[in-house]
Amino acid sequence: MSSNKSAPAMNRSIIEVMFKVRANVRFGEEVRVSGNVPALGCYSPERTIPLVTSKADYPCWSTKSALFLPGDNGLVNYRYCIFSGGKFVRWENEEVKRPLYIEPGDRDKLKTTMDYLGSFDQCEYLSSAVIPSITEKRSFKTRQLHSWSLKNQRDVNLDPASDAVVIVSYFLPVILDKSSDGKWSAIWDEENVIGLQLNIRTTWVGSVKYRGGIKPEDEEKICDVLRPLNCNPLFLNHEDHHQFYDLFCKGTLWPVLHHVADVYGPLRLDDNNPSNQENLWHTYNKVCLKFRNKVVEVYHEGDLIWIQGFHLCCLPAHLRRKVPLAKICVFFHTPFPSTEIWRTMSRREELLSGLLSADQVGFHLYEYARHFLTGCRRMLGHHYEYNPNGELTINANGREVIVTPIHVGIDLALMERILQRPSLYPAALEWKKKFPNRVIIAGIDRLERLKGIPLKLFAIEELMAENPQYRGKLAFVIIGVSAEERQTDYQQTRHDVSIIVSRINKKYSIEGDSVPVVHFEERDDRSIALEQRLAFFAAADILISSALRDGLNRMPIEFTLARARCGLMCEPKECQPTLPGGSMPNEGLVIVSEFVTSTRVMRGSLVVNPYRVDAVKNALKRALEMDSVERSDRMRRNLEFSVRLTASAWADEVLRDLKQVEKSGDIEALGLGANFRVVGVRAGFHPLDMTAMTKVFRQCTKRLILLDWGGTLVAEADKQDKLHFYALSQGHATRTGPTAELTEVLKGLCADKRNIVFVVSGKEINAVSEFFGNILQLNLGAEHGFYYSWNDDNLFGTNESVSPVQGGAPRSRRASIDDQRKWRTMSELGEAQWKEAAMVVMDVYVQRTHGTYIEQKGHALIWQYRDADPEFGYLQSKELEENLSMALAGYGGVEVLRGGGVSDGYVEVRPSGISKGLFLEHILSLLKTRNLEVDFLLTVGDDSSDEPMFEVVESLLSRGSNSSLNAYSVTVGKKPTAARAYIDDPASVLEMLGMLNKSIRSSVTPRPEDIKEALSGMSLNITKDNSRPTLYVNSSPNMTPPLNNPSFSKLLTPTVQTQVGSSSGAVSQSTSRRSGSRGSFDRLAIEIQASSSLTASRTDLWRAGGSVERCPSAEDEKEKNVPEVTEEAEGDDAIFF
């Protein structure tokens, strides 16, 4: 009696459920389930139901036994959670609780299911499952790459009222048709992922295709037809289309993207002709420019730009010149090859640079994204990393380019509409009736070599040969889609398929049976559109997609949804097959190549290597004999993804990522062709205004100038020539020294005592002394300023100088230079025992890493890996950095640095506290000890070692501690930097220094105190009544500035007035040209009203450029019959200086 009362499983409102979940967890963690009903613990962590797994089953978890739950649909929901060590850790990531869907038939009978979601009918799940809006979820891509970043939920959503997108593709997602009376019409290509209807304003740009071409007189009519669809067509002539699409995109770029580099196949002699390649590249860019113009025409400020497909790789670069602040995304629907394949492209760098002009680059799989990242690192030298948001980014010239791997799904709403069409079920039934009592194994492939149809047929042939029991029970239905654009490839593949199909049917068909083993038919794209495919898939039991390499292939998703929705309805009893492994259920199985994108997301598929014929054969046999439990579980896994990440969710996610990109005016488009790049620069970064800086320079009296050597004062060929760099580092070659012109300019700058000029280099003392030591008034800094020579002993007193390090330039040349210089250090120089330990560790990595070597630069040791494999060298550098840090932990005053890019990476060990920034601060502090405030500061450099110097300048300007300071930080070349201005190249640096030097010689304003000193102690003596004495000031031939300088007269006149005590000052002044024995000179005459005694004396006029300029003597005047002036002259007296 009690037994009958306790049989809830027989109650129509109760269902027996076993939960099953696939979960990858950390070591020691376990999975549990809880729900909103008492049997599931009411979401209490203490009452959760544990799930178990085994070594064979992991990562699949399941309840130990079935649970009895209410059978009313929509009543039960549940969630999974993680426990560790018996303690609750966290609930599953999704905030949405999982509903338990109940099949209506389960209320009338006892049914036990083995599905982790409970018993459900796929049709019901597809039509009623709640798909959470992607805008209410965290980034799927972020979950895929950085699960730990889920706690940082993003709140960037697309706003239909303000957001808009311009979608660009080579072909518009429309189908054009022309009636017999010449009227054009257009409808959406519903199954084209590009034609997805979004909830924001969308504009499409692309070319149009129509069999037979479009005549010029029809272009306006087509524009009118497409305008209601918000499509903006681009019309190309036949030649441009042929060269762009057929020859470059499909003939050159497409095979490489699909990992095809066939050097042994048929090759026309003109394929590698330089002129042909150049013509194709020219046409490719010309078409990209036409697309750019059309996009700019429809673009509105703030619009997102989404470029679809691989055809327009260079379009982002062209767009960036016209709309620099636009947010641009490029999404590939094809694979992206490994670096070894991509490097076979003749224009590989240009294409990568064009893509990196975008803000986001998307791929369907991380595998393709990884190939792209590696290519950018190896060929362009760009690093990649995860940013704080968990996004994978490439650092390209100071800009972050997001790389997004996210697979697109299907348009679920569109699928529902088509699956509900009355015409679909009869079409599916027709397929079943064609092959009664047979398991239908379906395949739809384009007729080209990469789709692998011949290999698939070989596997079928082996299966039938080894398993005679399957004869008469299987029907392999293969639909080949015409690929006429592949030309020879298409013709050859069609011929091969025909031969193999005939052979299989002849050998393994049952005599007298009208149904062949392999049914093959060829169709074009239109005759196998989405509705026809779904009808075909609904009738099929197994789908096999064994492409050798494929990009976006959504047929496994379409097959799964078609079987879930319509499978049972298309199974008339008279057509149901029977097999040794049991009858086929309505769940469909998918056999898919590991080289197809959907392999990574359709986790219930049987994955095969299409190149292994026996593996494909075994997968077919396994599918035919699989038990119902496994079939159901695999169907459930495939269905889970098919309804979760839809096409609209994919588009929304990509556009949200693009929208959140922060844009400002701090980017610049530079270069042409292969040198084109988009550079991220700081706000206010601008070309140096030499004229304005020179004007400020003239007005300042205490100037500090710091100049880098290599790459700044002289161009460095070794930065590109790795062999020359190695020779320099080992002392086998000499560096480039200053030109004679540069030497003279530096001497001129140093001659002015108001200038303190330093040449600061990262090179050792000997190299700096060899080339600049002969400019005695020039101050030098070696090893980033750790050693320096300053020709001002007043600053140092009796500080002990440091002897130069031996090596480098020949001693015979250095001896005379070094003896005249005193070298000092910024800080105390400790013992160098660490060098031996560092050398031992570095030498181990030199032996382990080909292409690396050790460079000794003064007191620093550098492990160079610029010649090594970029990836391996980078990994080894990280390991070396760690080992050096541990090995040198006991030595004080030593630091380990890892720097450079992919093409010039290094690990350096050096005394701590060395940088050009610290050197600049050291110099400023020494000047401050003498109460000298610099009012003009100029720093010029070209690479990362100069950035600390620029940062110090920026700090000085931001603090504002010296309001009179005019500071300039200048980098050579336009690049991401802390400098405020840039200059083009070393030649421009020389021009800038020449302007400063010229301003000293010709345009310096005389200082009043110098003129007062020159005229002090003078008086005028008038001996004639009503006479007006005149003061004559004569210049020397090389005197600077000249006497006719207005600034000179402006300062001299009031000074004379003060000295002679004149009440009315100078009444007139004039300048004339005279000649003497030492050359021509200028005479400035100032008539003065005065009444005191006049005494003449020679004195210095003023000090200029560190030297004293004197006026011509009286003997010079005699030669030109100029009366000699005595101290007691009669009449108009002239005083000469």
pLDDT digits (tens, 9 = 90+) for 840-880: 899 999 988 888 888 887 778 889 888 888 888 888 888 89
For the cut 90, the answer to whether the pLDDT of residue 706 exceeds it is yes
CA–CA separation, 979 and 983 (whole Å): 11
For the cut 90, the answer to whether the pLDDT of residue 592 exceeds it is yes
CA–CA separation, 873 and 881 (whole Å): 12
Q: Are 625 and 581 in contact (CB under 8 A)?
A: yes
For the cut 90, the answer to whether the pLDDT of residue 520 exceeds it is yes
For the cut 50, the answer to whether the pLDDT of residue 1091 exceeds it is no
For the cut 60, the answer to whether the pLDDT of residue 364 exceeds it is yes
For the cut 90, the answer to whether the pLDDT of residue 171 exceeds it is yes
In 10 A of CB 1126, how many CB atoms? 10
What are the angstrom distances between the C-alpha of 69 and each of 38, 47, 164?
Answer: 9, 16, 48
Q: Are 316 and 352 in contact (CB under 8 A)?
A: no
Q: Please, is 81 exposed, middle or buried when counting C-beta atoms within 10 Å of its C-beta (0-12, 13-18, 19+)?
A: middle
Confidence of residue 2 (pLDDT cuts 50, 70, 90): very low
Percent of the chain with pLDDT over 90: 22
In 10 A of CB 12, how many CB atoms? 11
Whole-model pTM?
0.66
The tally of CA atoms less than 13 A away on the side-chain side of residue 640 is 17
Cα pseudo-dihedral 758, 763, 765, 771, rounded to 10: -70
- The string of pLDDT tens digits covering residues 780-820 is 998 888 888 887 755 554 444 444 443 333 333 343 444 46
Query: What is the pLDDT at residue 1074?
Result: 52
- The string of pLDDT tens digits covering residues 992-1036 is 998 898 887 654 445 555 555 444 444 333 333 344 445 555 544
How high does pLDDT run on average in the chain?
A: 75
Confidence of residue 146 (pLDDT cuts 50, 70, 90): very low
Q: Are 40 and 34 in contact (CB under 8 A)?
A: yes
If one compares 402 and 1028, the residue with the highest pLDDT of the two is 402
CA–CA separation, 503 and 509 (whole Å): 10
If one compares 1048 and 751, the residue with the highest pLDDT of the two is 751
Distance of CA 812 to the CA centre of its chain: 50
- The string of pLDDT tens digits covering residues 247-267 is 899 888 998 998 887 655 554
Q: Are 589 and 623 in contact (CB under 8 A)?
A: yes
CA–CA separation, 582 and 569 (whole Å): 19
Query: What is the pLDDT at residue 1085?
Result: 55
For the cut 90, the answer to whether the pLDDT of residue 298 exceeds it is yes
For the cut 70, the answer to whether the pLDDT of residue 770 exceeds it is yes
Q: Report which residue type is found at 231.
A: C
CA–CA separation, 16 and 68 (whole Å): 5
Q: Identify which of 572, 681, 676 has the alpha carbon closest to the alpha carbon of residue 321.
A: 676
CA–CA separation, 561 and 15 (whole Å): 26
Query: What is the pLDDT at residue 511?
Result: 82
Backbone angles phi, psi at 797, to 5 degrees: 70, -120
For the cut 50, the answer to whether the pLDDT of residue 609 exceeds it is yes
Query: What is the pLDDT at residue 1059?
Result: 45
Q: Are 289 and 314 in contact (CB under 8 A)?
A: no
Query: What is the pLDDT at residue 716?
Result: 67
For the cut 60, the answer to whether the pLDDT of residue 47 exceeds it is yes
Query: Which of 126-140, 665-679, 982-996 is predicted most confidently?
Result: 982-996
CA–CA separation, 396 and 976 (whole Å): 10
For the cut 90, the answer to whether the pLDDT of residue 519 exceeds it is yes
- The string of pLDDT tens digits covering residues 24-45 is 776 667 888 888 888 888 888 8
Q: Identify which of 838, 836, 757, 837 has the alpha carbon closest to the alpha carbon of residue 792.
A: 757
- The string of pLDDT tens digits covering residues 92-104 is 765 557 777 666 5
Average pLDDT of span 428-434: 89
CA–CA separation, 256 and 604 (whole Å): 30
For the cut 80, the answer to whether the pLDDT of residue 149 exceeds it is no
DSSP run (H or E) holding 386: strand 383-386
If one compares 618 and 82, the residue with the highest pLDDT of the two is 618
For the cut 60, the answer to whether the pLDDT of residue 1095 exceeds it is no
Lowest-confidence segment of 915-919, 956-960, 1103-1107 by average pLDDT: 1103-1107
The tally of CA atoms less than 13 A away on the side-chain side of residue 956 is 29
Average pLDDT of span 370-384: 88
CA–CA separation, 420 and 569 (whole Å): 12
Strand partners, 1075: 1080
For the cut 90, the answer to whether the pLDDT of residue 297 exceeds it is yes
Q: For residue 1112, is the peptide bond before it cis, meaning its omega torsion is within 30 degrees of 0?
A: no
